[in-house]
Amino acid sequence: ESEEIDADNNFVLKRATRNTIAGQVLEDIDDDLVGDLPAPDHRIELYFRNASGVPTTSGGPVRAMNSDSNGNFFFQDLEPGEYVLYHIGTGSYPYECVSGSDLSPEPGEPTVHPECFFIQVDMLDDTAQDFDNTFVIKKD
């Protein structure tokens, strides 16, 4: 009943997280093509991927967020599918994309990205996790 107290029930609930895609936006400050500093407030959009490896933009992004103060971004509880991370940027200063990469692609996942601002990611089942996607940018 709603008022019942039962001292011997010891439940610990943990919310299960399905399919997570995460990564970081970094700024190259010394022109060595490697990310040196976190790049906060960069908008990252997640789209389903078409057969050409580019975002299917009809209907808009599946999810979107800005990178946090450490340049990190993440998307959780995704349906299985083939996705594209799309680096939009901040709009506050001109920059160029140095690289966009998945540091450890899953088997069968495309490794050639058609544009620097896209990273292709596969979430093939309900337990897929991909945490090492990195966009490196440089201020113009």
- Convert the pLDDT of each residue in 4-27 to its tens digit: 555 666 655 455 567 899 999 999
Is the predicted pLDDT of residue 1 greater than 50, yes or no? no
**CB-based contact 77:117 (threshold 8 Å):** no
Is the predicted pLDDT of residue 98 greater than 70, yes or no? yes
Task: Please give the pLDDT value at position 17.
Answer: 63
Task: Please give the pLDDT value at position 28.
Answer: 96
Bridge-based pairing state of the strands 43-48 and 95-102: unpaired
Tokens read off for 49: 């991927």
**CB-based contact 23:133 (threshold 8 Å):** yes
Per-residue pLDDT averaged across 56-61, rounded? 88
Per-residue pLDDT averaged across 71-98, rounded? 92
Q: Which residues pair with 122 in a beta bridge?
A: 82
Burial class from Cβ neighbours inside 10 Å (0-12, 13-18, 19+) for residue 96 reads exposed
Q: Which residues pair with 66 in a beta bridge?
A: 43
